[in-house]
Chain A
Amino acid sequence: MATKVHMEALSPTMEEGQIVKWHKSEGDEVASGDLLAEIETDKATMELLARGEGVLRQVLLEEGATAPVGEVIAIIAGADEDLGDDGDGNDADDEAREDDQADVAEAEDGDEDAEESGEPKPASKAEADEAPPSEADTSNGERRVRASPLARRLAEEKGLTLQDIEGSGPGGRIVKRDVEAAEAPPEEEAPETEAPEPTSPATPESEADYEDIPLSQIRKTIAKRLVQSIGPVPHFFLTVDVDMSRVVAARGRINKVLESEGVRVSFNDIVLKATALALAKHPECNAHWGGDHVRRFNRVHLGVAVAIEDGLITPVIRDAHRKGLAHIAQEVRELAGRARDKKLSPDEYTGSTFSVSNLGMFGIEDFTAVINPPEAGILAVGALEERPVVVDGEIRIQPRMKITMSCDHRVIDGALGSRFLQTLTGILEEPLLALV
Chain B
Amino acid sequence: MNPRGTPVADDSKEFDLIVIGSGPGGYVAAIRASQLGMKAACIEADKLGGVCLNIGCIPTKSLLTSALLVNEVKGADKHGISIGELSIDMGPAQERSRKVANQLNRGVGMLFRKNKVTHIEGWGRLAGDGKVEVETPDGTDTYRADHILVATGSRPRSLPFLEIDGERIWSSDHALFVKEAPESLAIVGAGAIGMEFADIFEAYGSQVTILEAMDHVLPVEDKDISVQMAKAYRKRGMTIHTGARLESSEVVDDGVVLRFKDKDGKDQELKVERALSAVGRIPNTEDVGLDRAGVKLTERGNFIEVDEWLRTNVDGVYAVGDCAGGALLAHKASHEGIACIEKIAGVAHGPVDHGNIPNCTYSHPEVASVGLTEEQAREAGHDIEVGKFPWVGNGRALAHGDSDGFIKVIRDRKYSEILGAHIIGPHATELIAEFVIGRHLEATAEEMEKAIHPHPTLSEAVAEAALASLGRAIHI
Contact = CB atoms under 8 A, between A and B. Distances in A.
Instruction: Answer yes or no: are A and B bound together in one complex.
Output: yes
Contacts of B36: 125-126
B81 interface: no
B110 A126 contact: no
A206 B315 contact: yes
Given A157-B415, A205-B315, A348 B442 contact: no
B380 interface: no
B442 A96 contact: no
Given A150-B443, A176-B442, A295-B346, A335 B3 contact: yes
B173 interface: no
A317 B349 CA distance: 28
A275 B108 CA distance: 47
Nearest to B315: A206
Interface string B278-322: 000000000000000000000000000001110100010000000
B34 to A, nearest CB: 11
Given A129-B347, A334-B1, A175 B37 contact: no
Contact of A151 (B4, B307, B350, B442): B442
Interface in A307-354: 317-319, 330-331, 334-335, 346-348
The 3 closest A-B pairs by CB, nearest first: A148-B442, A150-B442, A126-B347
Interface of A: 51, 92, 95-96, 99, 103, 124-126, 129-130, 148-151, 153-154, 157, 170, 175-176, 198-199, 201, 205-206, 208, 210, 295, 317-319, 330-331, 334-335, 346-348
Interface in B100-122: 107, 110, 113-114
A369 to B, nearest CB: 23
A197 to B, nearest CB: 11
Main SS at interface, chain A: helix
B429 to A, nearest CB: 24
Given A126-B36, A126-B346, A205-B315, 18 more contacts: A51-B113, A95-B110, A103-B35, A125-B36, A125-B37, A126-B347, A129-B347, A148-B443, A149-B441, A150-B415, A150-B416, A153-B416, A153-B444, A157-B415, A199-B350, A201-B307, A210-B346, A319-B5
B235 interface: no
B345 interface: yes
A149 B110 contact: no
B141 interface: no
B414 interface: yes
B294 to A, nearest CB: 14
A318 B5 contact: yes
B110 A148 contact: no
Using C-beta atoms within 8 Å of the partner chain, give the interface range for chain B: 20 to 34
27 contacts: A51-B114, A92-B110, A96-B114, A125-B36, A125-B37, A126-B36, A126-B347, A129-B347, A130-B347, A130-B349, A148-B441, A148-B442, A149-B441, A149-B446, A149-B447, A150-B442, A151-B442, A153-B416, A153-B444, A154-B415, A210-B346, A317-B3, A331-B1, A331-B3, A334-B1, A335-B3, A346-B37
A417 B347 CA distance: 27
B163 interface: no
Contacts of A95: 110
A130 B3 CA distance: 27
A251 B349 CA distance: 47
Nearest to B447: A149
A157 B37 CA distance: 45
A149 B444 contact: yes
Contacts of A348: 3-4
A312 B338 CA distance: 34
Nearest to A150: B442
A130 B346 CA distance: 9
Contact of B308 (A124, A201, A330): A201
Q: Which of B1, B35, B107 has the most CB of A within 10 A?
A: B35
B195 to A, nearest CB: 33
